[in-house]
C-alpha cells in the first residue's frame, strides 16, 4: 500500500471520518499485514505528538497572558535590581579589579575618541543616509482626496506633508518615539494610524546624539490607548537575533524581517546596532522587535553604498531619553509598557496585535 494513501487513511481513521464499511476494510488490512500495522502505529504516534504540541503551545500562550495580566496588577513582581547588601558585598570584593578596569576604560575611550574624531574629519558621513521619506505630489493628492472624503465627519485643516517617517507609542496617553532627524525637518507634525486617522502632535524632546525624539499627540480627537502589546528591552540584543520591524515607507504599513548583524552601529557607535533588514525612506523611527515582542531598537539610517546595512538606535536610549525628559519637566508622567503580550504568538498575530500602535509621522 502506498504510504501516502496510508497516512491519509490513518488520519481519517483516527478522526473517525471513515464509513463503517471502510473501517472494517481498513482493520482487516491491518490485521493481515504486520508491516501496515506497524506503520499505523507510527502514524498514530506522530499524530498524537502533533496534537500534544498544539495543545502545549496554546497552553503556554495562556500562561504568558495570565502572567502579564498579573504582573500588571502587581501580584507578580517585575524584574528588579537585587538588594543593597549584595551590591555592597560585590563592591568590596571587586573594588580593586573595578579600579583597574575603570582606568583602562578611561584610557581606551580617550584614545578611541581621539581616533574617531580625526577619522571622522577625514572621511565624513556621506555614506549614511537618513531614512526619512520625501512624499511625492501624487501621494499628497491622494491624501487630500482621502481627507475630503472624511471631511463630512470633522472639518479640519488638511495636512500637506512633505516628509514621512514612522513612530510608535511608548505610552497610551499619546507619547511616541521617533527619530530626531525626522522631527527636525518638520515644522508641523501629524501622525496617522493604520486606520488613516490624522492627529496633530508636537515634539517635546529631541536627542540629536541618539537621533531620538519624543512626540506628544495634542489632538483632542485622540483617545488614550491601553494595553500596549510590546515592552521595551533594557538589555542588549544578541548578535544574530532574529528581528522584525514595522514602518511606513509607503502609505500603508509595511513589515520587514532580518537579524542583528553587529552589536555596534556606524563607525563603532556602541549606542546603536547594525541590522540586516530591508528598509526604505519612511522607515525612519520604526520599532525593531525581537521574537518575544520586545522592542530592541529604533531604525535610524542605512548605508547608502552597501546593501542591507541598516542602523538602529538601541532601545536603552529610550530610557535615557525619558530620564532627560523627566529632568526637563517634572509634570510629565510617561509610563513605559512593562510587559509584552506577544510572547509565544505566531508572527502574523504579533503584527496584528501591534500595528495600531505604530504611526506614520508626516509633516512639512
Partner 1 sequence: MSNYQQENESLRGLAANDRDVIEAIYRDNYPMIQAFILNNSGNSDEARDIFQEAMIVLYEKATLEGFELNCQLKTFIYSVCRRLWLKRLQQLQRYSSLVENVEDMVPVEEDIEHEKHNSDFLLMETAMNKIGEPCKSLLDAYYIQKKNMQEIAGEFGYTNADNAKTQKYKCLLRLKKLFFAQYKNGQ
Stretch that binds partner 1, among 50-58, 199-207, 215-223, 330-338 (CB under 8 A): 50-58
Output 307 or 348, the one with its CB closest to partner 1. Answer: 348
Question: Any contact of residue 60 with partner 1 (CB under 8 A)?
Answer: yes
Output 71 or 324, the one with its CB closest to partner 1. Answer: 71
Interacting residue with partner 1 among 78, 96, 187, 223 (CB under 8 A): 78
Stretch that binds partner 1, among 44-52, 171-179, 218-226, 250-258 (CB under 8 A): 44-52
Output 94 or 119, the one with its CB closest to partner 1. Answer: 94
CB 99, min distance to partner 1, A: 27
| Structure-block grid coordinates of residue 300 | 535610524
Tell me if 191 sits within 8 A of 183, measured CB to CB: no
Output 50 or 151, the one with its CB closest to partner 1. Answer: 50
Tell me if 207 sits within 8 A of 324, measured CB to CB: yes
Q: Cα–Cα distance between 102 and 88 in angstroms, integer?
A: 18
Extended strands (E) in 186-241:
189-192, 198-207, 212-217, 231-232
Interacting residue with partner 1 among 50, 106, 115, 142 (CB under 8 A): 50
Site string for partner 1, 295-334 (x = CB under 8 A): ----------------------------------------
240-176-321 Cα angle (round to 5): 70
Interacting residue with partner 1 among 14, 18, 27, 65 (CB under 8 A): 65
Between the two ends of the chain, the Cα-to-Cα distance in Å is: 70
Interacting residue with partner 1 among 33, 38, 53, 270 (CB under 8 A): 53
305-309-313 Cα angle (round to 5): 125
84-90-93 Cα angle (round to 5): 140
Question: Any contact of residue 7 with partner 1 (CB under 8 A)?
Answer: yes
CB 28, min distance to partner 1, A: 22
CB atoms within 10 A of CB 288: 30
CB 8, min distance to partner 1, A: 6
Tell me if 197 sits within 8 A of 236, measured CB to CB: no
Stretch that binds partner 1, among 73-81, 117-125, 222-230, 258-266 (CB under 8 A): 73-81
178 has which bridge partners? 213
The DSSP call for residue 78 is P
Question: Any contact of residue 255 with partner 1 (CB under 8 A)?
Answer: no
Output 232 or 321, the one with its CB closest to partner 1. Answer: 232
Interacting residue with partner 1 among 23, 27, 29, 69 (CB under 8 A): 69
Long-range residue pairs from 51-59, CB within 8 A, at least 24 positions apart, any chain:
57/344
CB atoms within 10 A of CB 30: 18
Number of H helices, E strands in the chain: 8, 15
Residues that bind partner 1 (CB under 8 A): 3-4, 7-8, 42-43, 46, 49-60, 62-63, 65-67, 69-70, 75-80, 82, 346
Amino acid at each position: 500500500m502506498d504510504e501516502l494513501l496510508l497516512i491519509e487513511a490513518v488520519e481519517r481513521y483516527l478522526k473517525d471520518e471513515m464509513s463503517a464499511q471502510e473501517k472494517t476494510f481498513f482493520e482487516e488490512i491491518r490485521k493481515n499485514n504486520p508491516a501496515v500495522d506497524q506503520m499505523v502505529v507510527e502514524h498514530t504516534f506522530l499524530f498524537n505528538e502533533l496534537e500534544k504540541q498544539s495543545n502545549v503551545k496554546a497552553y503556554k500562550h495562556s500562561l504568558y497572558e495570565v502572567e502579564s495580566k498579573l504582573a500588571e496588577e502587581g501580584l507578580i513582581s517585575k524584574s528588579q535590581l537585587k538588594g543593597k547588601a549584595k551590591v555592597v558585598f560585590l563592591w568590596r570584593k571587586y573594588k580593586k579589579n573595578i579600579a583597574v578596569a575603570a582606568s583602562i576604560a578611561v584610557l581606551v575611550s580617550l584614545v578611541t575618541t581621539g581616533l574617531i574624531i580625526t577619522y571622522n574629519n577625514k572621511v565624513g558621513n556621506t555614506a549614511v543616509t537618513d531614512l526619512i521619506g520625501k512624499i511625492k505630489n501624487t501621494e499628497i493628492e491622494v491624501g487630500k482626496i482621502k481627507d475630503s472624503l472624511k471631511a463630512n465627519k470633522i472639518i479640519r485643516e488638511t495636512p500637506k506633508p512633505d516628509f514621512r517617517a514612522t513612530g510608535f507609542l511608548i505610552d497610551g496617553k499619546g507619547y511616541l518615539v521617533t527619530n530626531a532627524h525626522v522631527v527636525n525637518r518638520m515644522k508641523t507634525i501629524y501622525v496617522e494610524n493604520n486606520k488613516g486617522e490624522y492627529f496633530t502632535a508636537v515634539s517635546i524632546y529631541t536627542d540629536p546624539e541618539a537621533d531620538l525624539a519624543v512626540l506628544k499627540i495634542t489632538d483632542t480627537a485622540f483617545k488614550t490607548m491601553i494595553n500596549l502589546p510590546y515592552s521595551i528591552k533594557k538589555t542588549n540584543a544578541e548578535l544574530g537575533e532574529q528581528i522584525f520591524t514595522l514602518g511606513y515607507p509607503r502609505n500603508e504599513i509595511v513589515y520587514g524581517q532580518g537579524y542583528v548583524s553587529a552589536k555596534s552601529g556606524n563607525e563603532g557607535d556602541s549606542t546603536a546596532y547594525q541590522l540586516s533588514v530591508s528598509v526604505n525612506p519612511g522607515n525612519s523611527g520604526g520599532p525593531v522587535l525581537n521574537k518575544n515582542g520586545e522592542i530592541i531598537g529604533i531604525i535610524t539610517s542605512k548605508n547608502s553604498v552597501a546593501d542591507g546595512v541598516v542602523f538602529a538606535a538601541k532601545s536603552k536610549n529610550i530610557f535615557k531619553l525619558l530620564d532627560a525628559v523627566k529632568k526637563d519637566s517634572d509634570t510629565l508622567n510617561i509610563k513605559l509598557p512593562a510587559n509584552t503580550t506577544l510572547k509565544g504568538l505566531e508572527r502574523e498575530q504579533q503584527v496584528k496585535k501591534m500595528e495600531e500602535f505604530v504611526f506614520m509621522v508626516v509633516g512639512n
